[in-house]
């Protein structure tokens, strides 16, 4: 008796299952490789930090001289702190060239300020005329204030009240 072929849906499902399994295995291998690379990087950073720390400790240990105690070291540090220079040095005085350069720049600034002030004065009338023209076109608004009347007063606009009319 011949065996019947599997239906197309079963074949499709089995093929899909095989493809998903292969993809899953590939992704797992890639993740394992990435984890190994990351672990290698971390190990390299740890080695570098350890070497740096070891070098720092050797430098600090070199500060102590043979037979020196902690108190002797602290006394040496105190002595170094007391041996400060008497005066602090400021910047050197400006040279003649620098003085001339500064004077040239300041003179240029004064001339620019003077020119700006003259232009401001020249345009003052035109600005005032433009502002007056704008005020004329827009008109003026006068503030009107009518406080709320009391119970026995009438409203000025429509003579309506809550109480008796007068």
Each residue's pLDDT tens digit, 16-26: 999 999 999 99
Contacts of 156 (CB under 8 A, 6+ apart): 146, 149
- The Cβ-side half-sphere exposure at 65, using a 13 Å CA radius, reads 6
pLDDT tens-place string over residues 130-143? 999 998 898 877 88
- Nearest-angstrom CA–CA distance, 41 and 8: 49
Please give the pLDDT value at position 2: 64
> The pTM is what?
0.31
pLDDT tens-place string over residues 26-43? 999 999 999 999 999 999
């Amino acid at each position: 008796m011949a065996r019947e072929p599997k239906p197309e849906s079963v074949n499709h499902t089995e093929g899909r299952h095989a493809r998903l399994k292969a993809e899953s295995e590939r992704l797992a291998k890639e993740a394992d490789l990435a984890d190994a690379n990351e672990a290698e990087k971390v190990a390299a950073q740890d080695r570098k930090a350890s070497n740096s720390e070891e070098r720092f400790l050797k430098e600090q240990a070199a500060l102590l001289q043979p037979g020196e105690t902690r108190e002797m070291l602290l006394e040496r540090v105190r002595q170094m702190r007391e041996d400060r220079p008497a005066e602090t040095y400021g910047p050197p005085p400006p040279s003649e060239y620098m003085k001339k350069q500064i004077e040239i720049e300041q003179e240029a600034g004064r001339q620019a300020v003077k020119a700006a002030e003259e232009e401001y004065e020249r345009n003052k009338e035109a600005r005032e005329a433009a502002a007056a023209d704008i005020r004329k076109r827009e008109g003026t608004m006068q503030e009107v204030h009518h406080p709320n009347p009391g119970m026995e007063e009438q409203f000025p606009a429509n003579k309506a009240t809550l109480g008796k009319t007068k």
